[in-house]
Amino acid sequence: MKPYFEKMTEFGNALKKGRIKSTEENLNSIKKIEEDVADEVNRVKLAGFPEEKINARGQMTVWQRLEYLVDPGTWCPLHTLYNPMNNAEGTTNVIDGIGKISGKWSVIIGFDNKVMAGAWLPGQSENILRVTDLSKRLNIPLVWLVNCSGAKLTEQEKFYANRRGAGTPFFRHAELEQMGIPVLAGIYGTNPAGGGYQSISPTILFAHKDCNIAVGGVGIVSGMAPKGEFNLEAAEEIIEKAKQFRAKPPGSVNIHYDETGFFRYVFEDETGVLDGLKDYMKDMPAYHPKFFRVTKPKEPRFPIEDLYRLIPLNPKRVYDFDEVLARLVDSSEHMEFRPDYGPEVYAGLCKINGFLVACIGNRQQYLGRNYPEYADYPGMGGKLYRQGLIKMNEFVTLCGRDRIPVIWLQDSSGLDVGDSAEKAELLGLAQGLVYSIQQTDVPMMLLLLRKGTASAHYLMGGPTANRHNAFTLGTAASEIYVMHGETAAVATYSRRLVKEKEAGRPLKPIIEKMNKLAREYHEKSRPLFCAKNGLVDEILPLCDLRKYLVAFTGAAYQNPKSICPQHHMILPRIIKG
Amino acid sequence: MTQEIVAPLDGKVFQLKINPGDKVEEDEEILVIEAMKMETPIFVPCDGVVREVNVKEGEEVAENDVLAIIDEKHIEV
């Protein structure tokens, strides 16, 4: 399909000096937020014991293990700031992301052994389930660095049980294995109870010589017979048993290598475990990229740093979406789908690292007096109208047919509203898009450039499409809310204002409440809030966006569950006409 | 040569960043129109000098109104 893909239509323009002059403040404001995010990431990295203390014990930290394990330059961390239960530790205590090991994309996750020796914490199981979902969606191996001391017992009620509790990941590991997706585990340290299941549930176990895995650890076997209360005699008994089990914890290598054989390999050194994982990953089944590439990889024709001048931090400011996309895709080339229809939506085929991807985004500009065609008011980009919804329905469906991964680039204030919009069937077309996405079983990801608002956040590949959305990335400009805070304040208090006015009472108290609500909306939609609560999977510096697109695309094409031969694709032919 | 800067849409001048006599550079933002809850920046298409500014901040403008006139910078050979 060389005539279609080798040279597509170039788009975008180099920034002129006037634009550079006008956008200095925007650049500095975005970089300031990115610095704040980086400070938070650093805080997570420094959580718990210092690296030196762990190293002095003869152990590597999870960060050191990851650095040794993952191919240089490929690590794309996710969920770094995720801490939905507001743990005092500032983390869910697992570190995860996508990266290459021995040249193969994999999802990688490890317990932070600096924090309570890798204990289960509130919010952790939800974090792990996001990771197992990611492995399932991309159909790529999951690699664990297990080092889990069990549960933080003083907060067990927050995570031990429930539908998505701490045991659910064991079922997810089994589900991945059912699907033919291997789960590899390098095992370090003491892993009792929950840590034992974290260790035993993967497919192949690579053990460090000093590790142990067990149904119950020292703490449990020291005091398993409740007597109703503790007294001095009981305390002495506990001390004696604890000493005995500490000297020889249950489930060590001599049991689970020599006796049960659960450990496939045992390694003398910490790095030996990681070398074992690397060696297995080398032999992991994966398509060579040449099988699916449509051309040689090429960088965009414009510097990615331009994004700091092209994406306005001000959510009300209009910008040129096409110029943004031109900084992200190979050679700044594309094949646009139906450019003369649904102008508020960009849909097109692009290339990332030589692979074909579908990109869908919100154009922002004024759409003219004659659009939308069903209304007597003009349209503004960022909103969705009838044609844009129809276009996305068609495009997504064809992507499913042609097996093309989809990258959504969202910045939407929502759907058009009012009776003319209702008559134009927007509600039905919107849910139709949900149906089209559900029908389209290909990996998708969302890059939330700026606003994720109203139902548009669901419809345009947001994380609520959680069978399809592999992950969602945010930027310093991202904000997510059901509606703008001021709109919400009006919706909440407008009747009350009328009532107070008619009763002759002062309006000031209501106005104060309205301002308070609007402020809360602002605070609870900021990038750090979104990352902490999992509304996005990571907040990225703009200059790192393409790196993640490369990771997503490479992973999506590594082990696809179905294939459309390039010469059988219909979408490029429809675009060409 | 002069360049007329026209309003691309109906709206209100939200920010005005130029005065007559100012030097401007190609693609520089010279004013912002607020309409439909959004702010649309207006850029100059060329290097030049502002000859006329026909609007004030807060003023309503209609699509195709001439907002400003720029004397295009001469290229000296």
Contacts of A377 (CB under 8 A, 6+ apart): none
Mean pLDDT (whole number) for A259-282: 98
pLDDT in tens, A488-534: 999 999 999 999 999 999 999 999 999 999 999 999 999 999 999 99
CB nearest to A16's CB, from B8, B27, B41: B27
Q: How far is B2 from chain A (nearest CA, A)?
A: 18
- Residue A168 burial (CB < 10 Å; 0-12/13-18/19+)? middle
Q: Do A22 and B28 touch (CB under 8 A)?
A: yes
Mean pLDDT (whole number) for B13-40: 97
Q: How far is CA A218 from CA A147, A194, B42, in A?
A: 16, 13, 70
Segment (H or E) for A505: none
Query: Taking Cα atoms as reference points, which of A300, A324, A297, A302 lies closest to residue A448?
Result: A324
Residue A242: inside a domain, yes or no? no
Q: How far is CA A372 from CA A162, A316, A365, A539, B20, in A?
A: 47, 20, 13, 34, 38
Q: Do B27 and A19 touch (CB under 8 A)?
A: yes
Q: Do A18 and B40 touch (CB under 8 A)?
A: no
CA dist B72 and B77 (Å) reads 15
Residue of chain A minimizing CA distance to B28: A18
Q: Examine the pLDDT at A220 and tell me if it is beyond 70.
A: no
Q: Which of these CATH numbers, 3.50.50.60, 3.40.720.10, 2.40.50.100, 3.20.20.80, describes B2-72?
A: 2.40.50.100
* Same domain, yes or no: A412 and A304: yes
Contacts of A253 (CB under 8 A, 6+ apart): A207, A209, A210, A211, A212, A263, A266
Q: How far is A18 from chain B (nearest CA, A)?
A: 4
* Same domain, yes or no: A165 and A306: no
- Are A84 and A534 in contact by the 8 Å Cβ rule? The answer is yes
CB nearest to A316's CB, from B28, B39, B63: B39
Residue A22: inside a domain, yes or no? no
Residue A168: inside a domain, yes or no? yes
Residue A329: inside a domain, yes or no? yes
Q: What is the domain range of residue A516?
A: 484-526
CATH number of residue A184's parent domain: 3.90.226.10
Chain A interface test: which of B17, B28, B42, B70 (most A C-beta within 10 Å)? B28
* Same domain, yes or no: A204 and A350: no
Mean pLDDT (whole number) for A299-324: 98
* Same domain, yes or no: A125 and A175: yes
Q: Do A18 and B44 touch (CB under 8 A)?
A: yes
Chain A interface test: which of B24, B38, B39 (most A C-beta within 10 Å)? B38
pLDDT in tens, A355-412: 999 999 999 999 999 999 999 999 999 999 999 999 999 999 999 999 999 999 999 9
Mean pLDDT (whole number) for A288-313: 98
* Same domain, yes or no: A572 and A449: yes
pLDDT attached to residue A93: 97
CB nearest to B41's CB, from A15, A318, A369: A318
pLDDT attached to residue B77: 45
Mean pLDDT (whole number) for A227-243: 81
pLDDT in tens, A423-477: 999 999 999 999 999 999 999 999 999 999 999 999 999 999 999 999 999 999 9
Cβ–Cβ pairs < 8 A, chains A and B:
57
Q: Do B41 and A317 touch (CB under 8 A)?
A: yes
Q: Do A18 and B47 touch (CB under 8 A)?
A: yes
Number of domains in chain A: 3
Q: Do A366 and B29 touch (CB under 8 A)?
A: no
- Indicate yes or no: pTM above 0.80: yes
Query: Taking Cα atoms as reference points, which of A135, A112, A111 lies closest to residue A203?
Result: A135
Q: How far is B66 from chain A (nearest CA, A)?
A: 18
A483 touches chain B (CB under 8 A): no
CA dist B62 and A164 (Å) reads 56
Q: How far is A373 from chain B (nearest CA, A)?
A: 17
What band does A219 get if pLDDT is binned at 50, 70 and 90?
Answer: low
Give CA A498 to chain center in angstroms: 44
* Same domain, yes or no: A255 and A343: no
CA dist A15 and B28 (Å) reads 10
For chain A positions 371-400, those within 8 Å of chain B (CB to CB) are 378, 380, 382
CB nearest to A16's CB, from B26, B32, B35: B26
CA dist A491 and B48 (Å) reads 47
Q: Do B43 and A19 touch (CB under 8 A)?
A: yes
CB atoms within 10 A of CB A71: 15
* Same domain, yes or no: A195 and A266: yes
- SS3 assignment, position A250: coil
The ipTM (two decimal places) reads: 0.95
Structure tokens at A519: 């402020």
Tell which of A226, A260, A282 closes a domain.
A282
- Are A298 and A330 in contact by the 8 Å Cβ rule? The answer is yes
CA dist A91 and A79 (Å) reads 9
* Beta strands at A212-214 and A190-192: parallel, antiparallel or unpaired: parallel
What band does A99 get if pLDDT is binned at 50, 70 and 90?
Answer: very high
CA dist A413 and A460 (Å) reads 12
CB nearest to B38's CB, from A18, A23, A316: A316
What band does B73 get if pLDDT is binned at 50, 70 and 90?
Answer: confident
Mean pLDDT (whole number) for B58-74: 94
Mean pLDDT (whole number) for A347-352: 98
* Beta strands at A142-146 and A104-111: parallel, antiparallel or unpaired: parallel
Spell out the alpha helix ranges (H) of A292-405. 307-310, 321-326, 386-402
CA dist A145 and A96 (Å) reads 10
* Same domain, yes or no: A331 and A255: no
Chain A interface test: which of B36, B39, B47, B61 (most A C-beta within 10 Å)? B36
- Are A352 and A550 in contact by the 8 Å Cβ rule? The answer is yes
* Same domain, yes or no: A519 and A499: yes
* Same domain, yes or no: A273 and A304: no
Q: How far is B40 from chain A (nearest CA, A)?
A: 5
CB nearest to A22's CB, from B9, B29, B37: B29
pLDDT in tens, A185-196: 999 999 999 899
Q: How far is CA A34 from CA A30, A76, A478, in A?
A: 6, 16, 12
What residues of chain B lie within 8 A of the CB of A451, using their CB? none
pLDDT in tens, A101-131: 999 999 999 999 999 999 999 999 999 999 9
What band does A240 get if pLDDT is binned at 50, 70 and 90?
Answer: confident
The overall average pLDDT reported for chain A is: 96
Mean pLDDT (whole number) for A128-150: 97
Q: Do B9 and A366 touch (CB under 8 A)?
A: yes
Domain boundaries, chain B: 2-72
For chain A positions 19-38, those within 8 Å of chain B (CB to CB) are 19, 21-23
- SS3 assignment, position A514: helix
Among left, alpha and beta (phi > 0; psi -120 to 50; other), residue A507 is alpha
Tell which of A258, A282, A306 closes a domain.
A282
A490 touches chain B (CB under 8 A): no
* Same domain, yes or no: A278 and A308: no
Mean pLDDT (whole number) for A232-242: 81
What band does A570 get if pLDDT is binned at 50, 70 and 90?
Answer: very high
Q: Calculate what percentage of chain A has a pLDDT beyond 70.
A: 98
